[in-house]
Amino acid sequence: MGYYKDPDLQTRKDAAAAAKKALLQKFKAATEDPNIAQRQAERVAINEARVARRAEREAARLKREAELAEELAAAAKREEEARIEAEKAAAILAAEQAERDAALAAEKKAERDARYAARKAAKKVRRRGY
């Protein structure tokens, strides 16, 4: 039985150089392959389509945001108008209530004055005795 003989340094260097040269030849052959150029062109086209779709989505998003902003502005305007109308109605209601309160106070005062006058008249009649 023989023993395993290690290859010497030169043999290992030659083997490494041959492997490197074969890898380089394989890479050069791959770059000259028309299928690779075709695949690269397909990738570029796919990427351009992807960028175009992204731009369309961005434009649609901006359009939706603008429409939403318009809707919010219109809603805020409607709310402001409704608030103003409610304030006007509340002011009218408060004025009417103040008028009713004033009329009620005047009526109560008139009743009080009438009772006072009746008491004074009754007292006067009692003093006179007839």
Residue 1's pLDDT is 46
Task: Give domain status of residue 26, yes or no.
Answer: yes
44 within a domain of the structure (yes/no): yes
Residue 28 lies in a domain: yes
Say if 119 falls within a structural domain: no
Give the helix ranges, DSSP H, for the chain. Answer: 9-31, 34-128
Mean pLDDT by 10 residues, the chain (130 residues): 68 92 87 81 96 97 97 97 97 96 96 94 82
Q: What pLDDT is attached to residue 3? A: 52
Domain containing 32 equals 9-94
Confidence (pLDDT) at 129: 72
Domain-located, residue 124: no
Integer Cα distance of 17 and 23 in angstroms: 10
In a domain, 128, yes or no: no
Q: pTM for this one?
A: 0.46
Gap between the Cα atoms of 108 and 110, Å rounded: 5
- The span from the CA of 40 to the CA of 46, in Å, is 10
Tell me, yes or no, whether 29 lies in a domain. yes
Residue indicated by tokens 């429409």: 67
Structural domain tally of the chain?
A: 1
Q: Is 75 left (phi over 0), alpha (psi -120 to 50) or beta?
A: alpha
Query: Domain for residue 117, yes or no?
Result: no
